[in-house]
Structure 1
Amino acid sequence: MEKHFSLIITLVILCIFTSPGSCQNKPPNIVLILTDDQDVTMDAMTPMEKTLKLIGDNGVTFSNMFTSSPLCCPSRSSILTGKYVHNHGSVNNSLEGNCSSKSWQQGPEKSTFATYLKSQGYVTFMAGKYLNRYGEPAAGGVEHIPPGWDWWIGLVKNSVYYNYTLSVNGTAEAHHDDYEKDYLTDVIKNRSLEFLDKRDSSKPFFLMASTPACHSPFDSAPQYEEEFKDKNAPRGPSFNKHGGDKHWLIRRAKNPMSNVSLQYVDSTFKKRWRTLLSVDDMVEAIVNSLTEKKLIDNTFIIYTSDNGFHLGQFSLPNDKRQLYEFDVRIPLLIRGPGVPKKKVITNSVMNIDIMPTIVHLSGLTPPSDIDGASLLPLLFPKNDTVKSTGWREEFLVEHQGEWLLKGTPGCKNVDYLCNCYPDCVCEDSINNTYSCIWSLQPKQKTVYCEFLDDENFIEFYDLVKDPHQLANTAKTVSQKILSEQNQKLIALSICKGPSCRKIHPIG
């Protein structure tokens, strides 16, 4: 009876938000493809020719998609739960910061899209990177299988391409450095195809393929090692520019960057693109399999990343974790039954919207305690529903650094921990802890940020006049504007559930 009721809900949802011809006889299948550190502003979608054709040209591209935190574990936790960082509690990539900690497992992990889909009768599959500390002994080891997953092939710890361990349904599986057997992106692809072959075909399925690309160590497949030799990192307005009016860490960056840094930046740019070619192959293989099995017409495919990246912007050679557009703007493509083709949606959407969208597609009403909103009204607008009901124009971005430094500003004795060779400025310092309110309205676009550091630093940008966030105007803008922004930021920083989803009329 319960399954029958769920089926009716799903059919009603699809019939409401899509054309009548797109209504299906059973709940839709859902595929989530999640990359690592894939930016938009440095053109990291450019090498994804197959993905852009198979998903973008056959679906919707969201041009204003943002992460709730420009760091892997907090962002992935937001994707899984539909909550802002201050509500799910995973603030950085450390166990102490609740990255796959016992506290996380006993709380937020019990209410992810996987658990909701499982309750709807879906067969669930996950392969690849989960959370950065997953599988460590203090996080329950490889025996721990997060609730909601039927097929579990989780990477132990952080992104790598060779020499790693997988938890295969709770059993350790060692991989080495043989490309044919061990290259992680291909392993994820092959296990995904195996799932499509062997799944219970009487049930709808959810497939999550979470690749290491284009995260360091940037190991590309052998056949792609010579690609993009003529490509260098984009030299946009903020490239190799000293941020003298920005927070202490940006001010500390060496400017101009050394030749060694410039060479490193360009080399890393090429390597990142090369790793993405294997992801492109994986997308093609999954779409082809869905097509061959006559599943494609009843399957939604969501493609996104956890955060952006920078290579040389404001003289920062290599990392994420910053409040600027290059680190917080990410790709989002969606195709599926009834989704318009080749459409660009400009509304501001976030990674916290992925969970309620997936839950909504499965036939359930998204839980009221989450912070994100289902994207179905944007995907399937009916009688200008979005214009009449509104959509968010303001959202929150949060980051908490990990390393506690003695004596600031500076990174004495901890630079070697920060993984940003060369010219390291220790971007994971706890002093790089901030919260920002982004306001993207039709005629007014601003970013206001407050730092929890020794200076209580503030940054403010008018994105209409300064889209690249080159000039911090916090010291010249009126105090009235700053006070208004401060009050809005305070409200968002403590919001929960419905209070995070305040919408504004459009049109």
Structure 2
Amino acid sequence: MKYSALLLGTIALLALNTVTAKQYQEAKKPNIIFIFTDDQDHKMDSLQYMPNVQKYLVNEGTIYENHYATIAVCCPSRVGLLRGQYAHNTNITDVSPPYGGYERFNTLKLGEDYLPVWLQKSGYNTNYIGKLMNQYSVNNYNNPIPRGFNYQEQLVDPYTYIYNSAVFSVNGEPPVYYKDAYQTDVIHAKTRAALKRVQAQEDPFFLWVSPMAPHGQFEIGKGGSMKTSDPIPAARHAHLFKDVKIPRTPHFNPDQQVKTASYWKTLEKLNATMVEEFDETYRNRLRALQSVDEIVGTIFEELEKSGELDNTFVFYSADNGYHLGQHRAFPGKCTNLEEDINVPLLVRGPGIGKGKKSQVVSAHHDLAPTFVALAGGDEHVPSWVDGGVIPLTKALQKHRKPVSKESFSVEFWGLDLLAENYANANVIGPNTYKTLRVISQDYNYVYSIWCTGEHEFYDLKNDPYAMKNLYTGATNQLVNRLDALLVVLKSCRAETCRDPWRILHPDDKHVKTLRDALHKKYDIHYTQFRKVQFEECLGYYQVTNEAPVIGQHFLANVTDTSQQRPSSTEQYIISKFDKRADKSNEDGQFILPKEYHELLKLVPEPNQAVGHAPLGQDFEKYAIPVDKKLLETPVKWAEYNFYGFGS
């Protein structure tokens, strides 16, 4: 009897423990992992060449096919994601000073209230590995240390864009480099170590992994000449994809140029030699992504080992897309082409459909509020955030701040279009534009207005490669709705970004979509709105240059309007950028001064290809402190166009 009672008691205790463990697992907040590449295309099929992405994310998760970057260049895009805002609200509109970079980010105090802080307040252990943003360097890595991270290992400039020079600052400590190591492999090893660390802790974790691949490589020649080249793959991947070519879609190097606003009309048909060079660039991009794909495999293997897989959301995306020959364009981004703005978004986790494709419309400024919603911390998201919550799960489908139903705007400010890998191929002509995208089951429209006064209107549902500009033949009924909607979205803030129709129809709650607004009873209503126009072509954001602005409502919650017009100091910096001949040779190449070049070489590059095999768990033995001379010598790398190669 005693043994029976003891046995029954033991069974009851085990049952109680089992229920308790299950209840704990159900009550525990989900972990969130965000894999964020640099310049990865979605429209040119790069995901198809990543077997682990296919196995773990495509087959076991959902692809959100209508996800967009609202500014197609890295620093503004990354800051917009971190803040949940459009670039016209962060006022980070460039990759370089005075309108972009880590120092401006801190001058505007944007790093005091952003995603990692919100997640920490939500009870999360926050971690970051890889590239943060331009101008985080050997000179300012701890001035200040990025806030909101329990643990961070950031790539530091001027080595961020050099594949075989892996230089990191850990938690704001003096940088170290990893001798003869491939940069993505170091990020891979650090990711593995981070997962082991965070999974041993009780708090739910957020881990952001941000490899630089497949961004182009920065190269500095013996004489100090600076240029970009193709991505450098790990040695073990250099032989792959020898016969792969850029998809030959109808808009790839067309016989007739059909995109003609601003500089587009000047682009000539690419010759066979250039096309082959572009194909090799494409192949090298795919090769560089293989080491990223290995990171994806390790993440899921570690989650499976720890038992955390079923309680973890894994996101995969990129800061912006990339174009290669579409509409005759040289390699790069920064345009309003779908190749540049439509970026990958793959999600796997509890409640996410397996092997599915979603047509939900979303943008990068929606990711931060979505992450925090998954973390159960909605109260920590400020009211000024532009983005809404993507309806990933049944619970999020009922969120009180959903994403904009079908529309968003794309913006850019630039005086020319940078052509990567081709020093003398920059396209002179303004690259300042506002683009409206409206996507639903019934229509898929692109409506653009350039600072030159030119217009574009494409119906991508019937013309997916934008081969026919319909603007001159479009009905006034349609164009005036699109233009009015762009008026709102180009300067929207907070809730007006999520529901722009409330501004256009303040007394009619029935109008929630473009289809609703197209009813003929609103024809007269839409004749009252001024059209979107620029006063002049500027390379920076200035509210008064971009008319009209509807109501004083749009002037609330601005990050820092005082910095929208350049100060005298900034004008001096701009004038230095304009005098490019002073820092370039007769071939148009920028020349890094000898003393700076010598500083750069204090972190030696290997003499041969690296990355023959992934790094093991003992990778930290390769870490070497960076020479103090490099840390203590202030260098303004941006003055030599260091970030002007398409960062």
Give TM-score scaled by structure 1 length: 0.85
**Amino acid in structure 2 at the alignment position of 1:156:** V
Contact 2:250/2:465 (<8 A) preserved: yes
The CA distance in 1 between the partners of 2:422 and 2:318, in whole Å, is 24
User: Which deviates more from structure 2 when the two are superposed, residues 59-68 or residues 362-371?
Assistant: 362-371
Contact 1:261/1:423 (<8 A) preserved: no
Structure 1 residue 146 displacement after superposition: 1.1
User: What pairs with 1:298-309 in structure 2 (closer than 5 Å)?
Assistant: 298-309=311-322
The CA distance in 1 between the partners of 2:263 and 2:23, in whole Å, is 55
Structure 1 residue 194 displacement after superposition: 1.1
Aligned to 1:397: 410
Contact 2:76/2:95 (<8 A) preserved: yes
Contact 1:303/1:331 (<8 A) preserved: yes
Percent identical: 31
The CA distance in 1 between the partners of 2:232 and 2:351, in whole Å, is 38
Structure 1 residue 420 displacement after superposition: 4.1
- CA change 1:244–1:346 in 2 (3 A) is closer
- CA change 1:229–1:148 in 2 (3 A) is same
Structure 1 residue 317 displacement after superposition: 2.3
1:491 and 2:491 are equivalent in the alignment: no
Structure 1 residue 235 displacement after superposition: 1.0
The CA distance in 2 between the partners of 1:220 and 1:167, in whole Å, is 23
- CA change 1:390–1:210 in 2 (3 A) is closer
Structure 1 residue 134 displacement after superposition: 1.8
Contact 2:352/2:392 (<8 A) preserved: no
Contact 1:163/1:174 (<8 A) preserved: no
Contact 1:76/1:306 (<8 A) preserved: yes
The CA distance in 2 between the partners of 1:22 and 1:237, in whole Å, is 54
1:132 and 2:134 are equivalent in the alignment: yes
Structure 1 residue 231 displacement after superposition: 0.4
1:424-473 deviation digits (Å, cap 9, x = unpaired): 243xx671011111011222221111112xx2221111112211111222
1:67-87 deviation digits (Å, cap 9, x = unpaired): 111111111112111111111
Structure 1 residue 488 displacement after superposition: 1.2
Contact 2:111/2:147 (<8 A) preserved: yes
Aligned to 2:202: 202
Structure 1 residue 291 displacement after superposition: 1.2
Counterpart pick for 1:280 among 286, 293, 297: 293
Aligned to 1:5: none
The CA distance in 2 between the partners of 1:252 and 1:430, in whole Å, is 9
Secondary structure of residue in 1 paired with 2:33: strand
Contact 1:460/1:472 (<8 A) preserved: yes
Give TM-score scaled by structure 2 length: 0.67
User: What pairs with 1:260-409 in structure 2 (closer than 5 Å)?
Assistant: 260-365=273-378, 366-375=381-390, 377-380=391-394, 392-401=405-414, 404=415
The CA distance in 2 between the partners of 1:419 and 1:230, in whole Å, is 23
Unpaired segments ≥5 residues, structure 2: 1-21, 218-230, 501-511, 517-647
User: What pairs with 1:62-141 in structure 2 (closer than 5 Å)?
Assistant: 62-104=64-106, 106-135=108-137, 137=139, 140-141=140-141
1:283-322 deviation digits (Å, cap 9, x = unpaired): 1101111111111121111111111111111111200111
**Amino acid in structure 2 at the alignment position of 1:91:** T
Structure possessing the higher radius of gyration over alpha carbons: 2
Structure 1 residue 253 displacement after superposition: 1.6
Aligned to 1:467: 464
Aligned to 1:151: 151
Contact 1:154/1:167 (<8 A) preserved: yes
- CA change 1:390–1:432 in 2 (3 A) is closer
Contact 2:412/2:434 (<8 A) preserved: yes
Structure 1 residue 21 displacement after superposition: 9.4
Unpaired segments ≥5 residues, structure 1: 1-19, 406-410, 412-416
1:243 and 2:225 are equivalent in the alignment: no
**Amino acid in structure 2 at the alignment position of 1:120:** S
Secondary structure of residue in 1 paired with 2:456: strand
The CA distance in 1 between the partners of 2:384 and 2:25, in whole Å, is 29
Contact 2:36/2:318 (<8 A) preserved: yes
User: Which deviates more from structure 2 when the two are superposed, residues 185-194 or residues 467-476?
Assistant: 467-476
**Amino acid in structure 1 at the alignment position of 2:43:** T
Aligned to 1:7: none
User: What pairs with 1:162-241 in structure 2 (closer than 5 Å)?
Assistant: 162-175=164-177, 178=180, 182-199=181-198, 201-217=201-217, 218-241=231-254
Secondary structure of residue in 2 paired with 1:64: strand
Structure 1 residue 238 displacement after superposition: 0.6
Aligned to 1:16: none
**Amino acid in structure 2 at the alignment position of 1:215:** H
Aligned to 2:557: none
Structure 1 residue 95 displacement after superposition: 2.1
1:98-130 deviation digits (Å, cap 9, x = unpaired): 322245454222222101111223211111111
The CA distance in 1 between the partners of 2:65 and 2:476, in whole Å, is 32
Contact 1:62/1:345 (<8 A) preserved: yes
The CA distance in 2 between the partners of 1:76 and 1:341, in whole Å, is 28
User: Which deviates more from structure 2 when the two are superposed, residues 330-339 or residues 161-170?
Assistant: 161-170
Contact 1:394/1:440 (<8 A) preserved: yes
Aligned to 1:451: 450
The CA distance in 2 between the partners of 1:432 and 1:213, in whole Å, is 25
Structure 1 residue 23 displacement after superposition: 7.0
- CA change 1:64–1:321 in 2 (3 A) is same
Secondary structure of residue in 1 paired with 2:290: helix
The CA distance in 1 between the partners of 2:49 and 2:143, in whole Å, is 37
The CA distance in 1 between the partners of 2:102 and 2:461, in whole Å, is 39
Contact 1:72/1:93 (<8 A) preserved: yes
Aligned to 2:425: 424
User: Which deviates more from structure 2 when the two are superposed, residues 98-107 or residues 263-272?
Assistant: 98-107
User: Which deviates more from structure 2 when the two are superposed, residues 34-43 or residues 194-203?
Assistant: 194-203
The CA distance in 2 between the partners of 1:21 and 1:258, in whole Å, is 64
Superposition CA RMSD, Å? 2.6
Secondary structure of residue in 2 paired with 1:469: coil
